[in-house]
Amino acid sequence: MRSAKLHKNPALFVLLTLLFVRALLQAQEDGTSEVGRTTENELKVTLTSSFGTLKISRGEPEKIVVVQDFGGKENRMKMEYSIRNRVGYMDLTLGEFEQDTERSEGSFHVSDFHAGEWALKFSDAVPISFDVQLGVGKGEFDFSGLHVKDFNLSTGAGDVELSFDEPNRSTIENLNIESGVSKFVGRNLGNANFKHFRFQEGVGSSTLDFSGNLDSEVDVDLEVGMGVMTVIVPPDVGARVIYVKSWTSKVECARDFRSASDNEFVSDNYDSVPGKMNIRVDTGLGSIKIQRH
């Protein structure tokens, strides 16, 4: 009877739905907000940061996200969150943005937060897909212990650190990173459990350390514009390096790599170990060093 009454009164149904979804978010006076976990078995996060410092790490299982806003006068945060077919959809905007007066059904807005630094802690109980755009600032992504299903990152100017100090509990089909004018450090990327890793660097320096538990064959595509890139391949992992040969290309490999052709290097252990990296390189005016660690 109750469901029939709600069906006949769409306005009441929408109101109750909004009240339910809004109840998921709890904002405190100290700038901390959280979204409690209900029926989600997966989470998709779209995050845009204009400027400032962003830190992402592992949180509590029963809280989809806990956001700490460390204050400021020029930055703001806007969050939209909705659940459809047991998938949580989160849209976060950090920094300056235009006020959006249109709201989708079953979502809420949290605005007028003032901050220049945010710390986000995500639940480790559900697989998470991240689509992140960073403008100017600093990003620290510590995915240790999380279920990362997909990760796409585009950065403008700043410093970024990405780490998997514990094995990823999901498989990433495609891990894509575009780094503009910035410094990028990736640590223990072998724990990311990826199948395809793609990294584009514009101007700057980057270090990609693939230490960790890499025990399968994976593909890695690297592109350097005018930067310097260092790639660390663990000694128990084999690697084949194929590069686009030109007068501007500069590729240096560790001592245990031999030249297989005029544009290919292969490590001595490539055919004898289960963990293999097929690395394709396009250096432009930049340079890449393949090192052992």
Q: Is the pLDDT of residue 114 over 80?
A: no
Mean pLDDT, residues 12-27 taken together: 43
pTM of the predicted model as reported, rounded to 2 decimal places:
0.83
Q: Is the pLDDT of residue 292 over 90?
A: yes
Phi and psi at 36, nearest 5°, equal -75, 150
Q: Return the higher-pLDDT residue of 20 and 247.
A: 247
Q: Is the pLDDT of residue 271 over 80?
A: yes
Distance (Å) of CA 293 to CA 65, 160, 238, 274 = 35, 21, 13, 18
Q: Is the pLDDT of residue 171 over 80?
A: yes
Q: Which of 12-21, 56-65, 88-97, 205-214 has the lowest mean pLDDT?
A: 12-21
**Structural domains in the chain (count):** 1
pLDDT given for residue 153 in this prediction: 97
pLDDT band at 242 (very low <50, low <70, confident <90, very high): very high
Pairing assessment for the beta strands 257-261 and 172-187 based on DSSP bridges = unpaired
Q: Is the pLDDT of residue 20 over 80?
A: no
pLDDT given for residue 52 in this prediction: 87
Could you read off the pLDDT of 34-86 as tens digits, one per residue?
Answer: 999 999 999 999 999 988 899 999 999 999 999 988 765 444 778 999 999 99
Across the chain, mean pLDDT equals: 85
Q: Which of 123-127, 161-165, 226-230, 243-247 has the lowest mean pLDDT?
A: 243-247
Q: Is the pLDDT of residue 158 over 60?
A: yes
Q: Is the pLDDT of residue 32 over 70?
A: yes
Q: Which domain holds residue 237?
A: 2-292
* Contacts for 13-22: CB closer than 8 Å, 24+ residues apart: 14/105, 17/105, 17/106, 18/106, 18/108, 21/81, 21/82, 21/83, 21/106, 21/107, 21/108, 22/108
pLDDT given for residue 209 in this prediction: 98
Q: Return the higher-pLDDT residue of 14 and 126.
A: 126
Could you read off the pLDDT of 190-200 as tens digits, one per residue?
Answer: 999 999 999 99
